[in-house]
A and B are shown apart, each in its own frame.
Chain A
Amino acid sequence: MTNTPLSHIRNFSIVAHIDHGKSTLADRLIQTCGGLAEREMSKQVLDSMDIEKERGITIKAQTVRLHYTAKDGELYVLNLIDTPGHVDFAYEVSRSLRACEGSLLVVDASQGVEAQTLANVYAALDADHEIVPVLNKIDLPAAEPDRIKEQIEEVIGLDASDAVMISAKSGIGIPDVLEAIVTRLPAPKGGTVKDPLKAMLVDSWYDTYLGVIVLVRVINGEMKKGQQIRLMGTDARYTVERIGVITPKLVIMDSLGPGEIGFITASIKEVADTRVGDTITEDKRPTAEALPGFKPAQPVVFCGLFPVDAADFEELRAAMGKLRLNDASFSFEMETSAALGFGFRCGFLGLLHLEIIQERLEREFNLDLIATAPSVIYRLNMTNGDVIELHNPADMPDVVKIRNIEEPWIKATILTPDEHLGTILKLCQDRRGIQTDLSYVGKRAMMTYALPLNEVVFDFYDRLKSISKGYASFDYQITGHEEGDLVRMSILVNDEPVDALSMLVHRSAAEKRGRVMCEKLKELIPRHMFKIPIQAAIGGKVVARETISAMRKDVTAKCYGGDATRKRKLLDKQKAGKKRMRQFGKVDIPQEAFIEALKISD
Chain B
Amino acid sequence: MNQALHPSGITAPGSILPDTGKPGFGIYLHWPFCAAKCPYCDFNSHVRHTGIDQQAYIDAFRKEIGAMRTLTGPRVVTSIFFGGGTPSLMAPATVGAILDAVREAWAVPDGIEITLEANPSSVEAERFRGYRQAGVNRVSMGVQALNDPDLKRLGRLHNRADALKAIGLARDIFPRMSFDLIYARPDQTAQAWAAELEEAISLAADHLSLYQLTIEEGTPFHGLYKAGKLIVPDGELSAELYELTRQVCTSHGLPAYEVSNHARPGAESRHNLTYWRYGDYAGIGPGAHGRLTTGAGKIATATERHPESWLKLVAEQGHGMTESTALSAAEQADELLLMGLRLREGIDLRRWQLLSGRSLESERTGFLIEHGMIEEMGPDRIRCTPAGMLLLDAVVADLAT
Contact = CB atoms under 8 A, between A and B. Distances in A.
B338 A564 contact: yes
Interface of A: 528-530, 551-565, 567-568, 570-571, 574-575, 578, 586
Nearest to B234: A552
A194 B98 CA distance: 112
B239 interface: yes
A550 to B, nearest CB: 8
B335 A557 contact: no
Contacts of B43: 560-561
Could you tell me the dominant secondary structure of chain A's interface residues? loop
Interface of B: 28, 43, 83, 211-214, 235-236, 238-239, 242, 259-260, 275-276, 278, 281, 283, 288-291, 300, 302, 331, 334-335, 338-339, 342, 367-368, 371, 373, 389-398, 400-401
Nearest to B388: A529
Contacts of A528: 394
Given A552-B239, A554-B390, A560-B43, 20 more contacts: A528-B394, A529-B391, A529-B395, A529-B398, A552-B235, A552-B236, A552-B238, A553-B238, A553-B390, A556-B259, A556-B392, A561-B28, A561-B275, A562-B275, A562-B290, A564-B289, A565-B289, A565-B300, A567-B335, A571-B396
A543 to B, nearest CB: 28
Which of A528, A554, A561, A562 has the most C-beta atoms of chain B within 10 angstroms of its own C-beta?
A562
Contacts of B28: 561-562
Which of B331, B367, B373, B397 has the most C-beta atoms of chain A within 10 angstroms of its own C-beta?
B397
Contact of A558 (B211, B236, B291): B211
Given A564-B291, A567-B338, A555 B275 contact: no
Contact of A562 (B239, B283, B398): B283
B268 to A, nearest CB: 14
B335 A564 contact: yes
Nearest to A555: B392
Contacts of B396: 571
A578 B397 contact: yes
Contacts of B371: 529-530
A273 to B, nearest CB: 49
A487 B287 CA distance: 64
A486 B214 CA distance: 53
Contacts of B212: 557
Given A552-B235, A564-B338, A578-B397, A557 B390 contact: no
A562 B397 contact: no
Contacts of B397: 571, 574-575, 578
Which of A555, A557, A586 has the most C-beta atoms of chain B within 10 angstroms of its own C-beta?
A555
A574 to B, nearest CB: 4
A595 to B, nearest CB: 23
Contacts of A556: 214, 259, 392-393
A551 B278 CA distance: 28
A575 B400 contact: yes
Contacts of A571: 334, 338, 396-397, 400
B275 A559 contact: yes
B237 to A, nearest CB: 9
Contacts of B211: 557-558
Contact of A555 (B291, B334, B391, B398): B391
Contacts of A558: 211, 214, 260
Given A564-B338, A567-B338, A568-B335, A555 B390 contact: yes
B275 A568 contact: no
Nearest to A526: B394
B233 to A, nearest CB: 10
A424 B243 CA distance: 54
Contacts of B288: 561-562
Given A553-B242, A555-B259, A555-B390, A561 B395 contact: no
